[in-house]
Structure formats: structure tokens, C-alpha cells
Amino acid sequence: MPDLAGSDEDEFVEHMNDFKNDQYNNDNGEIRPPTIMNRIAPGYDADEIAALARYFASMPKPASKTGNDTPSR
């Protein structure tokens, strides 16, 4: 699971909207099975998602756990 701290704002918004629309794809372009996020994300409107994106983007990235900056999914 990728860290949210230091995440890209646009990517965060895209992912949240994908969760809202049950269209969250994995790295191979296949739709991932539902997670808890597809039940949480619909509760946020566009302004709230943008505020969350700004908040997480403003946080410093945590030290890498795997030795690289590529989040594992």
C-alpha cells in the first residue's frame, strides 16, 4: 500500500475519483476488486477530495521502506 504523505495532488484526486466510480485499475490496466475505499470515497465531494489531496501533498514523503521511491501496489 503506498504512503499518502507526499503524494501527487492530481494522482490522489484521480485515484479517489476512480474509487468513487468503481474503476480503480491495477498496474496492468485491469479493474481491481473492491476495497474499503470504494465505500468511503463516494462520501466526499470534489472540494473535499481536493482538500485531502492538498493536505497529503503538503506532508513530507516518508523514508523509503524498500530502498526506492516506487510505491508497491
* Domain ranges across the chain: 9-58
- One-letter amino acid for residue 16 of the chain: M
C-alpha distances (whole Å) from 41 to each of 18, 27, 38, 65, 71 are 9, 20, 6, 27, 21
- The residue ranges of DSSP E strands in 1-73, in sequence order, are none
| pLDDT of amino acid 12 | 93
| pLDDT of amino acid 26 | 65
| pLDDT of amino acid 73 | 45
SS3 content of the chain, % helix, strand, coil (to 5): 45, 5, 55
| pLDDT of amino acid 23 | 77
| pLDDT of amino acid 64 | 74
Tens-binned pLDDT, residue by residue, of the chain (73 aa): 678 999 999 999 998 998 888 777 666 767 776 678 888 999 999 999 999 999 999 999 988 766 555 554 4
